[in-house]
Structure 1
Amino acid sequence: MPKSRPLPTAPDLALVIGEALIDVVHRTDGSTSEHPGGSPANVALTLGRLERPVELLTWIGNDVYGDVVRKWLAGSSVSIAPGSDGASSTSLAVARLGADGGATYEFDLDWNLCRTAEVPEGTIVAHTGSIAAVLEPGATAVRRVLGSARSRATITYDPNIRPSLMGTATAVRPRVEELVGLSDVVKVSDEDLRWLYPAADLGSIATRWQKSGPALVVVTYGGEGAHAYTAGGRVDVAAPAVTVADTVGAGDSFMGALIDGLWSAGLLGASQRGALATISTETLTTVLEQCVQVAAITVSRPGANPPRRRELAL
């Protein structure tokens, strides 16, 4: 009898779970623009531009804005998971930029997941964050999918707080801490930590988070760089000096670059949890240096517009 051929294995894949929406941006000069966004969608976009196979599990409508989102993601080689088009309409986020380029947000958003949402074969990292991890009924579904992914994939999380939509810090904090404890890698901004824990020492909070489950907790400080906390201690990197157009999508591009860097280091996948927990200072520094470079390029141009692989100097 002829020998049977082995079944092909699925290529390594990143699964990003969360909202994709349209950002309506009001600038200080009175101009307004519309473009696709959403924190998890921006992470997926960054991974696609860094040439990683990535699928976005989201909740958009079969409408004009949904078509804009689909075209935008396809342009960066991001696949949309089956069942992601069940929303009655595609959500909107209204961003108002301040003089420093920072943004405040208001939302018209419906968040859920398809009941049959599954983790694709080959998934080695599953990421979520921001609104998707907090807003019901979708948040419960997100935690279900993450739970099913954990046996094979690294779990990454970015709280990316949106106070106008999520409620009070007292209400949000337990949900955030639950997801931190379920994650292998957490990225959080200094602003989010200060909102969650007013007057607390950020380093102490990051250390406590790291001891609660994650191998790695990274706190970003905008133009001042980032601090990463592991069981072995803290690693700091500075951010490149750039002229800021706005900060939309900067944290998301940092998160995408963090996943990409750990991917390059061979530290993704459930089988690599032990190696991730003992990541060397040298490897972590290399990963973080790419993260701040990617974020710096993103803030140097308007909107959530992360760089492609060919634009990076590293």
Structure 2
Amino acid sequence: MTGSLPALVVGEALVDVIAGPDGPRRSAHPGGSPANVALGLGRLGHPVRLATRVGHDDYGRLVRVHLESSGVELAPGSVVDATTSTATAVLDRAGAAKYDFDITWALSVAVEESLREGPPAHAHTGSIATALAPGADQVLNALHALRTSATVSYDPNVRPALLRSPEEERERVEELVALSDVVKASEEDLAWLHPGEDPNRTAARWARSGPALVVLTLGADGARAWWRHGYQDIAPIPAQVVDTVGAGDAFMAALVSRLLHVGLLGGGPGLEAVTARAALRAATDTDRLPQVLDEALTVAARAAALTCTREGADPPTTAQLMV
């Protein structure tokens, strides 16, 4: 890990209201894809700051206590006089979720100012925060500025109910991919963005367009890591699935965590981001994935599997992950 500089996550925090397949059972859990990644990084021992938007209401307090108890600091201006956003997740009998959203996304002026104060080691964003106006443009502008001093990761984690057509969304997604060092996307994400195209073909193309590493998650079939010179399958970790809420975010957090620990992500003053970016590029400048990346991806898969055994987005701590 690079010094004690925090990781910065920019994106939505909300409450997942989870309903079972038969409807009557409902429970509320703090969530939001970027907030889940921040939570995962905090539980894995990283100083982490989340630039987001939550209210002073009961749901907002639930989110804040949840994040702060795992070491996540909210960027100044993240708490506003507004209603906290929600996502109702309806689970099917296999535990997979479909979402209905009630969300407003924008960064306050105070948050935008805080993003210009002090470089993070690493910046992560994705999902609704990178797609929903007016906040999406704020996030994109922030990422352009942060990239000079920090490494970057991105997870499109598309929510079709909130988006325009795939044709209209692709340009922004492709710009974010090109800005990133590490990208994670699900098979479903890429199938929606490029209907009729094999997701593997899209992932391979993305790996040649900017990121050093693109990870395609395949649900129960594990994952596949793509880089400029090839790909490698990541075996699935068996799990007794309760639900899949937050599994992809746990994967992302654990992957970023491991790459920070080994110096393949991370930035700060001077040339540290350039150094880490070059090291990650060098590690993937081969036709076989090096052991350090294989291990990082295996740990990420384990984090996702553990999260599937719990209700809601509940990523593991370091102690739980290394058992």
- Which bin holds the TM-score, normalised by the shorter protein? over 0.9
The residue type equivalent to 2:253 in the other structure is G
Q: Deviations over 1:216-246 (max 9, x none)?
A: 1110001111111112321221011111100
Pick which of 210-219 and 272-281 moved more: 272-281
Conserved in 2, the CA contact under 8 Å of 1:232 and 1:278?
no
Aligned positions of 1:1-314 closer than 5 A: 11-29=4-22, 30-86=24-80, 88-116=82-110, 117=112, 118-268=115-265, 269=267, 270-271=273-274, 272-279=276-283, 280-313=289-322
Give the corresponding residue for 2:286: none
RMSD across aligned C-alpha pairs, in angstroms? Answer: 1.5
Query: Counterpart in 1 of 2:270?
Result: none
2:217 and 2:209 map into 1 onto residues whose CA distance is 19
Unaligned runs of 5+ in 1: 1-8
Deviations 1:19-72 (A, max 9, x none): 000111111243101111000000000001101110000011122211111100
Q: Secondary structure at the match of 2:231?
A: strand
Q: In the alignment, residue 274 of structure 1 is paired with which amino acid?
A: A
Query: Distance between the aligned counterparts of 2:88 and 2:6, measured in 1?
Result: 32
CA distance, structure 2, for counterparts of residue 10 and residue 263 of structure 1: 10
Tell me the matched-pair count: 306
- AA in 2 matched with 1:241: P
Q: 1 CA distance for matches of 2:223 and 2:261?
A: 20
- TM-score scaled by length of structure 1: 0.94
Q: Could you give the per-residue CA deviations for residues 71-103 of structure 1, whole angstroms, max 9, x where no partner exists? A: 000111100000111252111111101111111
1-structure distance, mates of 2:223, 2:116 = 31
- 1:109-150 alpha-carbon deviations (Å, 9 max, x no partner): 110012242145251110000000010110111011111111
Q: 1:15–1:119: 8 Å Cα contact kept in structure 2? A: no
- The separation in 2 between residues aligned to 1:77 and 1:297, in whole angstroms, is 20
The amino acid across from 2:314 in the alignment is N
SS at match of 1:15: strand
Unaligned runs of 5+ in 2: 268-272, 284-288
Give distance in 1, aligned partners of 2:136 and 2:81: 15
Checking the alignment, whether the CA contact within 8 Å between 1:93 and 1:106 is kept in structure 2 is: yes
Q: 1:131 to 1:183 in 2, by over 3 A?
A: same
Q: How far off is 1:195 after superposition?
A: 0.9
For residues 15 and 25 of structure 1, the distance between their equivalents in structure 2, rounded to whole angstroms, comes to: 28
* Cα separation, 1, equivalents of 2:25 and 2:302: 29
Shift of 1:15: 0.2
Distance 1:159 1:204 in 2: 17
- Aligned counterparts of 1:12 and 1:100: Cα–Cα separation in 2: 40
The TM-score, its normalising length taken from structure 2, stands at: 0.91
Q: Percent identity?
A: 49
Indicate the larger mover: 277-286 or 217-226: 277-286
Distance in 2 of aligned mates of 1:246 and 1:192:
19
Give the C-alpha shift of residue 167 in structure 1: 2.4
Contact 1:235 1:281 in 2 (8 A): no
Kindly provide the amino acid, as one letter, of the partner of residue 146 in structure 2.
Answer: A
Q: d(CA) in 2 for partners of 1:71 and 1:245?
A: 24
**Aligned equivalents of 1:100, 1:234: Cα separation in 2:** 29
